[in-house]
Structure 1
Amino acid sequence: MDSRENAVLAVALSVFCCAFLLGRAIGLDGPFFAFVMLLVIPILGSQLYLAATDADGSLPAGWIRAAMLVSVVLSGLYATLTTGFEQLAFQTASAVLLLGLLSDEFRSRDRKRKPVR
């Protein structure tokens, strides 16, 4: 990995630690806090930031897809552990992430099919 990727992952880890300590200090807990702490900040946040700022196209597309797939699976698992509104929120998050993953797959497949002129 180059230094840019390492720096982004280090910042994500730092943000995770600070947010976790702050959340515990003010008494946050529950599935939403765990979802943000375990999935949004370290996995999705860092990978989507790298994808958004990748100007030269050097970031492997598999990293983003792997992050999205892990997010879909974990948000689906969170949905099975909760009830009511929380379950609906996690199911919605899982569906949105799955649609994002599928749209990225279709877009990349279309880019490969189009002839270069």
Structure 2
Amino acid sequence: MSNSFKSTLHFQPHDKTIVARNGTTILAAARHAKVMLQSKCGGRGACTACKVQIRTEAQPAPLSRMEKHMLSEQMLKDGYRLGCQCVVNGDAEVIVPEDPLRRTIRLQLEAARREAEEKKEK
């Protein structure tokens, strides 16, 4: 669906797809898609809470000064960008990392469920 004005973004693991105008930030597109993407600094690129991994066959948007400063070389090599700084520049898959607090809670709940199932089996 990519043309010179709009691109298709697929957000994972949320499995949501939207069409966004080129030049829109990934953060704004995520909010439009109702995908939870943290932003503690108000979109100024100072907190890295909105970092996402971008997979695209198109030429990615140029790195912003803040992205070069805030993300490690390895993260940049692995396709990580700041959602508040990176703009839509072609069809892409956007992988939103799991929030660390939510991950901790999810792992605790999974452990409790396994323990309850083991007790039922005994």
Give the TM-score, by structure 1 length. 0.30
Q: Which has the higher helix share?
A: 1
Give the TM-score, by structure 2 length. 0.29
Q: Which has the higher strand share?
A: 2
